[in-house]
């Protein structure tokens, strides 16, 4: 397995890390609802699920965490 022969200096390490940057997410304003949303993703407005500016699911309710199953057989 490969391992470094010499310790990497802090300057070299920091120069390498200087290129690690966060980029802002692409956000779009919906023409129908006026809501900001992530591009190419579905989004909920007033209980309806929208995709590409159209209602995909009316009265959308997200699935909550599943309740633990009762496995007691006694």
Query: Considering only CA atoms, which of 42, 48, 74 is closest in space to residue 60?
Result: 48
Q: How does pLDDT run across 59-69, given as a tens digit for each residue? A: 888 777 556 66
Please answer whether residues 50 and 36 qualify as being in contact, where contact means their C-beta atoms are separated by less than 8 angstroms: no
Q: CA dist 38 to 6, 26, 45, 47, Å?
A: 45, 6, 13, 18
Q: What is the DSSP string of 9-51?
A: PHHHHHHHHTT----PPPEEE-TTT--EEETTS-EEETTEEEE
Q: What is the pLDDT of residue 5?
A: 94
Query: Region 24-46: what's the mean pLDDT?
Result: 91
């Amino acid at each position: 397995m490969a391992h470094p022969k010499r310790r990497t200096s802090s300057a070299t390490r920091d120069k390498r890390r200087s290129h690690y940057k966060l980029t802002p997410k692409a956000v779009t304003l919906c023409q129908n609802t006026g809501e900001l949303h992530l591009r190419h993703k579905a989004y909920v407005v007033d209980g309806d699920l929208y995709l590409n500016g159209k209602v995909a699911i009316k009265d959308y309710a997200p699935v909550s965490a599943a309740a633990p199953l009762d496995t007691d057989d006694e």
